[in-house]
Structure 1
């Protein structure tokens, strides 16, 4: 069958450089049985900080010990502790007012006029008479010839931004068309404002003060929020409606027309001269301790250069609050067999195969990340306090939900067009009669939603493969509806349970290609790079000297 015939000089070179790449023996039966084990009811949905976490990590450690693997965590341990700060607003503690150029103070009703959170630092926000700057989308993207800030100084001020990224015809291609870039996200805007010295950030919502959606935002603003490790340490974040924004602009003598031309790339940030904002808010803090588990194979020649395989071990626990008692009458355990017992076991199986291969020149780390379902928090915790320097981390290869289908011709990845890892994968895929494509679901924003992404934000080239739909037999006409139905039926539902009927042949094919990619990286001296249009290349470039 042509699908299985290796072809092309570049493919042959890549496979030969990977040494014993063909010696692997990924087992669908073993993968299935291990998924069945850690997605069983007695693992209680694998929620961080519960008995389900302990049972999961004990099970993983035992498997790695049986392989003869080395502990890969800090100080020769298996576990990396991750302390997650959870913030809850203190009732009636939030207050705000603004002062106009004439000195008149205007009180604001927190939760109605303005929404405030102090979920950073010590949970105490105190800002007095800070100047305001409207920065459009709050985007500085030189690789896309876009700079909302210009040369304005925002140190000690509050930055006001629009949500999302430009969507006007003529500029969308600067921002990956239908696929959102990192600039679309609130964390990016907060990071950029903090980097420039701002004390707070406010999102301007394009709705009236009476809008039902706006009022709901205020009503639900008291929910507990968990801070991502390494997040921007602003005094506060918040949101205002269009009506209040218009009042501030008018008070500053600005024509709203000059503030609305934000989608062309010509706009530059403007100070709201004479208008200041005062804010106070308080939040209680409690800490949830969870753990990443890391194992490693130490490189024989370049041990300080690291390839990381990652997958999250956690799911969402039991019941709507994650920690309910197990029901005796209904199924309330979120077993998370597909998401992400499958990826967890995929990493374990990858480790098993790589351990059986000749020892690599570079170090390979197998990282089982905590609290992905809470916002990639275990991976963010690792990146904020890396066990292996990020500057000499060659790549992260992430697995989140193995494909459950017969073999496919397509090999989707998240973030296509970002870095050269996909080019290497394309060579390997072509040798098998397959092709690399994007994930086909731009509305999902998948690139920012799994554990590869904290590495990406830190500048480390990363790759995550996804579920193919172009079946060898039946094509997309059969494969796409089957995938869509499976995703709708089981994603984050109690029905996400192991089944003996799962077809793991596509999973084995993908794992085999990633195995070959890993050996090529681990036995070479190449450093994957970001492509010129990537928003993450400039971050990686800051540490170029460490990779000379």
Structure 2
């Protein structure tokens, strides 16, 4: 037995040591509370530049303050203003199809959706010829050109969604069923504007689009947003929108063409555009355009060793606001899963990191605006960064965590070809869980989340979402719940909070994100793009800013 004075001396020496900080744990109750508030009727669906934004920004600022982080916005505040142009159809839409000497009135929202981001107060198109341009892709690096120098001036292009490989038996010039950026509707509109088309109509099909017509209708009847552009007239076609597949089939048939046969032809390099007989479209509607300022909301914890190096946690706060009432009369598109769950995670991560010892690198907690309007808040941040992009080590973006309880796995969106995916796998496995690659590469989620804006600027970035392998029911159950959500609730009023939610799985996901972010923020290594990534060369341009760091992790 040790003498009493030795025991006392040992106890006193322990008391003199700094206390070992316990790893913070995410609170399922806090996550539920954040979503309940953000997705409530009072927030009116959190559309940018609406009273719902005002309530959202106020809530986020207060919660960041309560979490214990410092303001990370402009001029020492919490806000980064994001100026945007808003364009909304005002009043009725006239759309008339002229085929074989007959006229057919089309219903906006049912047969097709029509919008415009062109800098005009009124769209007037009179009997513009329709021409089918296949998938509307020009990709010299893949040896692909759908246009074959066809002049599209004065014409409306009819274009397929997704890539040529989506429905082929074997992968071809593209990535099989894994959609590329060329398959995204945003690319198709941009390319058709570059080609001088008067209009662009994308044929909707549920499988290649990855959502039903209800989602297209909901989005198509909402305002459009864009950054202010001096060249807006050349950057956007005068007319843009989607059409139902059934309408497309009737157009092709009237021109003596078979829709499926023409689609098969479009899946080959030899495709050439074809006029849809004598079909012409007339359309007219008023457009209200105004400039608005929406806001990114940002918290920050300065690093103690390398404060000029940064790790970002992000999620978009916006949803689709008020729209057409559903069958229950509810007009609020609440955006509970998409993406109040992601914002709740960022708020909780801010609290957890604020309670822990400071990391070597700085941490930023960014609630981004206008993701649903084309990644506008993220794109503005990238163009006007509040921390240098060249020394931003990683962006961990968060989307659509599950309300259906714990899973054995966690997932990333798309196939990013970035070391962060392997880091996420390693951290998950170290905590007794698995990492699942995106099971729906054909949905193109890599190009549909805010991390993509950072990736295009070369910053290693990933979007993390819920896994599918549920503890209660396995992958089959998780897949069924996912499919039901996208079929019935995505971007619609029924994406609402429920007291029946089980947020324990969200809390487990947030714990993993905390561990991953802390590892990067405490470390000296720099996450990297893989050799076959299109973003590696962009990152390489700023290699000099990161010299002297530890060797890059393979």
TM-score by length of 2: 0.69
> Is residue 2:49 matched to residue 1:52?
no
Q: Contact between 1:46 and 1:316, CA under 8 Å: does it hold in 2?
A: yes
Where do 5+ consecutive residues of structure 2 fail to align?
1-19, 206-216, 256-260, 276-282, 545-554
Which one of the candidate residues 537, 541, 544 is aligned to 1:545? 541
CA contact (8 A) 2:332 2:493 kept: no
Among residues 218, 231, 236, which one is paired with 2:238 in the alignment?
236
The corresponding residue for 1:81 is: 81
Greater shift in the superposed pair: 412-421 or 41-50: 41-50
Q: After the TM superposition, which residues 516-535 of structure 1 pair with which residues of structure 2 at under 5 Å, given as runs?
A: 516-532=515-531, 534=533
- Shift of residue 518 of structure 1? 1.3
Shift of 1:404: 2.7
Partner in structure 2 of residue 226 of structure 1: 224
Deviation (angstroms), 1:407: 3.2
Output aligned runs, 1:81-100, within 5 Å: 81-82=81-82, 83-88=84-89
Residues 244, 179 of structure 1: alpha-carbon distance in 2 compared, 3 angstrom cutoff:
same
Distance 1:383 1:158, change over 3 A: farther
The answer to whether the 8 Å contact 1:88/1:222 transfers is no
CA spacing shift, 1:283–1:467, aligned 2, 3 Å:
same
Across the aligned residues of Structure 1 and Structure 2, the Cα RMSD in angstroms comes to: 5.2
> CA distance change for structure 1 residues 86 and 261 in 2, over 3 Å: closer, same or farther?
same
- Structure 1 residue 93: Cα displacement: 11
Matches within 5 A, 1:145-164: 145-148=142-145, 162-164=159-161
Give me the whole-angstrom Cα distance separating, in 2, the residues matched to 1:330 and 1:147. 47
Among residues 305, 312, 316, which one is paired with 2:316 in the alignment?
312
SS at match of 1:46: coil
Q: How does 1:68-467 map to 2 (within 5 A)?
A: 68-82=68-82, 83-88=84-89, 118-121=116-119, 136-141=134-139, 145-148=142-145, 162-164=159-161, 165-166=163-164, 167=166, 169=168, 172=171, 174-192=173-191, 198=196, 202-203=200-201, 225-229=223-227, 233-238=235-240, 261-265=265-269, 283-317=287-321, 320=324, 335-441=334-440, 444-467=443-466
Match in the other structure for 2:513: 514
Asked if structure 2 preserves the Cα contact closer than 8 Å seen for 1:383 and 1:455, the reply is yes
1:30 is matched with 30
Shift of 1:520: 2.5
Q: 1:177 to 1:120 in 2, by over 3 A?
A: same
- Offset at 1:346? 0.9
Q: For the structure 1 residues 205 and 451, does the alpha-carbon distance in structure 2 shift closer, same or farther, using more than 3 Å as the test?
A: closer
Inter-partner Cα distance in structure 1 for 2:41 and 2:405? 27
Which digits, 9 at most, give the CA deviation of each residue in 1:157-189, with x for residues without a partner?
989573222045355365443333221122213
Q: Secondary structure at the match of 2:542?
A: helix
- Give the stretch that moved more between structures: 511-520 or 522-531: 522-531
Deviation at 1:261, TM superposition (A): 4.6
How far residue 293 of structure 1 moved from its aligned partner, in angstroms, is: 0.8
Q: Is the contact between residue 308 and residue 366 of structure 1 (CA under 8 Å) also seen in structure 2?
A: yes
- Cα distance 1:451–1:337, how it changes in 2: closer, same or farther (>3 A)? same
Please report how far the alpha carbon of residue 41 of structure 1 lies from its aligned counterpart in structure 2 after TM superposition. Answer: 4.4
CA contact (8 A) 1:95 1:280 kept: no
**Contact 2:157–2:197 (CA<8 Å) still a contact in 1?**
no
- How far apart, CA to CA, are the structure 1 residues paired with 2:219 and 2:71? 42
Aligned length: 493
Distance change in 2, residues 1:363/1:94 (3 Å): farther
Q: Higher relative contact order by CA 8 Å / sep ≥ 6: 1 or 2?
A: 1
Instruction: State the 1:424 CA deviation.
Output: 1.0
* Cα deviation, residue 510, structure 1: 1.3
